[in-house]
Amino acid sequence: MKKMLFFVLICLFTGVLSAQRLDDGSFENKWLQYTTTRTDIPVYWDYSHSETDDIIRTINSLVVIPNAVVRTELTAFRETEDVKDGDYAVRLTTVTFDNILLVPGVLGTITDDFISDYINAGGINVQAEFNFAPLALTGYYKYLPVNGDSAVIEVELYNEDIVIGSGKFIQRNRVEEWTEFTVNVHHNVPGSAVTHIRMLFISSAGYNFEDLMSCKGQVGSTLYIDDIKFSYESSITESILSDVKVKTYPNPATETVTFEFDQQMKGDFFIYNTLGSEVASYPLAGETLNVNVSTLEAGTYLFRVIDNNNIRKSGKFLVK
């Protein structure tokens, strides 16, 4: 009976997410309020679950599944009182669905249809603006486990369907003060381009998304997350959630390529070849930058806009 309930619930997990950009790792933006017909959960806040161009989401929208065979609960919350800085953080809590399924609080590169997107598809596809392989995922956390539970933070880098880098952080102890975490990424294929990323923050490390009946953990275990970033060489960091957009034209280019940003930019504009070697740099101040590429060999090039060791934007373009 429980297996049948599990199967039916999975069949109800519907949703499509085509990621277009990274979000804001301080979790200050994109919180939306939703209403339901449930008397126990009439309204709830969720992090971008209806936005089709975000990669970091929760599974909170499961609470609105019509005629669900088990009673679902919220697992992720907008934290307003206990934050690292700013106004908001994320609070993830392990719960039960009708005392049948144990479901940990989860935030990451998932959709409501996490069985398909997380397990089968290898994470959510991140488009060209994610071009560099980070050395680590960093941020701040607190963890309040119940009965010896543990939390986990995981990251995997993909080139198409091949894992080219991974890292995991497990916390088994109680951490009552905001503490910095670092998930170092071990690169299996150094120099390979990143096309996908899988990233998860989970309040109980004994999760099993292939079979929710096999999840292990303790109801009430709570993980707080704030200020997540990727880190690169020379202390350069990149916010998980950058909202800067750029138009690159012509692409491919032969003589001059124009980079047109949707907001005022400042910093330094760097161009790299696919091996990661810097081939040119320019000061940037404003919304537009024209670059002469006539001396560059034909091929693919990467770019970064860096201001005070923070990557504001990255991308790629072609020279023919």
Q: 65 — phi, psi (to 5°)?
A: -60, 120
* Three-state secondary-structure class, residue 118: helix
The ranges of the chain annotated as CATH 2.60.40.10 are 246-319
Residue with tokens 């941020």: 139
Per-residue model confidence (pLDDT) at position 204: 97
Quick one: what percent of the chain has pLDDT higher than 70? 80
pLDDT in tens, 292-302: 999 999 998 98
Supply the CATH classification number for the domain 2-239.
2.60.120.260
Adjacent-strand bridge partners of 281: 270
Q: Is the pLDDT of residue 115 over 50?
A: no
pLDDT at 104: 94
Contacts by residues 270-275 (CB-CB < 8 Å, ≥ 24 positions apart): 270/303, 270/304, 270/305, 270/306, 271/301, 271/302, 271/303, 272/301, 272/302, 272/303, 272/304, 273/299, 273/301, 273/302, 274/193, 274/299, 274/300, 274/301, 274/302, 275/191
State the distance between the two ends of the chain, measured CA to CA, in whole angstroms: 61
pLDDT value for 15: 30
Question: What Å distances lie between residue 293 and 132, 135, 256, 258, 315, CA to CA?
Answer: 21, 29, 6, 10, 16
Cβ atoms of 104 and 220 within 8 Å: the answer is: no
- Cα–Cα distance between 206 and 135 in angstroms, integer? 26
Spatial distance between the Cα atoms of 198 and 126, rounded to a whole number of angstroms: 10
Cα-based torsion angle of the residue sequence 271, 128, 192, 190 in order, rounded to the nearest 10 degrees: 70
Has residue 78 got a pLDDT over 90?
yes
Residue 127 banded pLDDT, cuts 50, 70, 90:
very low
Statement: 246-319 belongs to CATH 1.10.10.10:
no
Span 159-185, pLDDT tens digits? 777 888 899 999 999 999 999 999 999
Q: Are 196 and 148 in contact (CB under 8 A)?
A: no
231 close to 237: Cβ distance less than 8 angstroms: yes
- Which has the higher per-residue pLDDT, 319 or 126? 319
* CATH 2.60.120.260 location in the chain: 2-239
Q: What is the mean pLDDT of residues 71-91?
A: 94
pLDDT at 17: 26
Rounded-to-integer distance, Cα 19 and Cα 50, Å:
12
Distance from C-alpha of 58 to C-alpha of 13, rounded to nearest angstrom: 13
Tell whether the model's pLDDT for residue 126 goes beyond 70.
Answer: no
Query: Which residues lie closer than 8 Å to 294 by C-beta, 6 or more apart?
Result: 254, 255, 256
Tell me the pLDDT tens digit for each residue of 247-292: 999 999 999 999 999 889 999 999 988 777 889 999 999 999 999 9
pLDDT at 20 over 50: no
In the chain, what percentage of residues exceed pLDDT 90?
A: 42
Tell me which of 29 and 139 has the higher pLDDT.
139
- Evaluate if residue 5 carries a pLDDT over 60: no
Per-residue pLDDT at 7 exceeds 50:
no
How many CB atoms within 10 Å of residue 64?
Answer: 16
The pTM (predicted TM-score) of the whole model is 0.75
Closest by CA position to 118, among listed 233, 214, 198, 229: 198
Amino acid 130: pLDDT: 53
In 10 A of CB 37, how many CB atoms? 8
With cut-offs at 50, 70 and 90, classify the pLDDT of residue 232: confident
